[in-house]
Each structure stands twice: as structure tokens, then as C-alpha cells.
Amino acid sequence: MIKIQKKNFSLSEVNKKLLKKNSGAIVTFIGIVRGEKKTKKIQSIYIECYLKMAEKELKKVEMIANKKWKLNNCIIIHRYGKIRPEEKIVYVATSAEHRKNAFKACEFIIDYLKTKAPFWKIEKINSKEIYVQSKKKDEKKIKKWGSII
Amino acid sequence: MKILYFAWIKKSLQISEETINPPKNIKNVKSLIQWMSLKSKKHKEVFLKIKSIRIAINHEVVDINKKIKKNDEIAFFPPFTGG
């Protein structure tokens, strides 16, 4: 299941959807807005999104992960619009028969989202809005997955 | 042909999209950028930073040599920073 939405969501509600009879492991990753950046207070962030392309990319990464790691369930939720500190930005959950596959798949999905999904963050600090720069380490991480993509 | 702009590119151009009708000799992204750079000073300034701009045609990331078609949706944006 993939979702791209403005609204915040309840963790307990989405976690419930992961339980399946043959699942022995559930791994979740939750990305949240930091309250500070180098001691400067972050007032809020704004996430811009290319919606049609983002839907395609999230479906693509879900399909790759399901196939590669034989997942029982996979949930990806990415928010856009204005998001306040300590609120959730992204939620990735994978369930599988064994933990190794669930961990690997979850790590792959978040690495993929960082570099392949069309979202852009703007941080509001001291009433100034600044576009967040992409990180080279994220590019290196996705290259490690090589032929999977 | 529909052109979309995101993030700092949208902010610099002060538009999020435009519909264009390039001449027939504009056959790939590279020549489209050269042609679009002549549209305005803002377009020229943005496309001078082409090394920090990524391109997608119909939601697929492509390189600058990719051929373009009349009804394509072409998006220009910086590297992604979601997740």
C-alpha cells in the first residue's frame, strides 16, 4: 500500500495493517521533522511534491521490494505540504516471514525514497525559507543496491 | 508540450508550468533547453545552472540527449530531498 498525503496519520492504525498469519517480523521506519538544525530552531518544513511522478516511484519501489524480499506486506506513506517539528514525514513498514528480509527491504525503500522520489524539502528557520540540499551520502547508499533497481 | 518546474527553479521563474510549442528542429532536451533559454532572462539564468537540474519526461528521469515529442510532459527540478 502506498499513500502520498498532506494529512498526518495514526501509527497504531497503520501498524495494525501489517499483521499477517505467516509474518514473523515487522520493521518500521518513521522519518520525523527535527526541532533543531545546528542549534537553530526549525519552525516548520514544507514538502513540495511532483505528485504523478511520486505515485509512480512509490509503486515501483514497493513492487521491487515485494519481489526481492518476498514481503507479506509493505506500507509506504509520504507526506507533503506544511509539517511541524516532531511530526511524521515518512513511514515505511515491511513485514516478512523472517527479520532479515524485513530489515533489508525497509532499508532499501528509504534509501530509494531519498534519491528517486520527487519530493523537495524547504526548512523554515528564523522566518527564512531554505531549500534543503541533497546529500552525496544518499547517492552513495542507493548505488550500493546496484542491480536491484 | 507541457513544461513543469519545481523547487528553486519554480521560485526563480515565478511559474510552476507553461505550455510551449517549440519549432520542429527542436528534437531533444538539450536543444529544447537552448531554445527555452531565449524565452526570457529568468529562463536563461535558470538553464545556466543545468548541471544542478534534473529532467523527467512523462515522469521518467532522462538525460539531456533524450528525444522529445509534441505531447510530452517535461519537468525540470533539482535533486530530490524527500524521505
Would you say A61 and A111 are in contact if contact means Cβ atoms under 8 Å apart? no
**pTM for the predicted model, two decimal places:** 0.93
Q: What local confidence, expressed as pLDDT, does residue A146 receive?
A: 87
A51-69 helix and A99-116 helix, angle to the nearest 10 degrees: 160
How many domains are contained in chain B? 1
Whether B12 is covered by a domain: the verdict is: yes
Chain A interface residues (partner B, CB cutoff 8 A)? 31, 47-50, 52-53, 56, 78, 89-90, 110, 113-121, 131-134, 138
Closest chain B residue to A135 measured between Cα atoms? B81
CB contact under 8 A, A116 and B75: no
* Confidence class for position A17, pLDDT limits 50, 70, 90: confident
- Chain A neighbors of B6, CB-CB under 8 A: 48, 50, 118, 120
DSSP secondary structure code for residue B52 in this structure: G
Interface predicted TM-score (ipTM) over 0.90: yes
Query: pLDDT tens-digit profile of A18-68?
Result: 887 788 999 999 999 999 888 889 999 999 999 999 999 999 999 999 999
Strand (E) or helix (H) holding B4: strand B2-5
Spans of all domains in chain A: 2-142
Q: Taking the mean position of all CA atoms in its chain, how far away is CA A41? A: 23
CB contact under 8 A, B6 and A118: yes
CB contact under 8 A, B81 and A116: no
For residue B15, the domain's CATH number is 3.10.20.30
Interface residue B62 vs chain A (CB under 8 A):
no
CB contact under 8 A, A120 and B4: no
* Of B78 and A15, the one with more pLDDT: B78
CB contact under 8 A, A119 and B83: yes
Q: Which CATH number fits domain A2-142: 3.40.50.1220, 1.10.3720.10, 3.90.1170.40, 3.50.50.60?
A: 3.90.1170.40
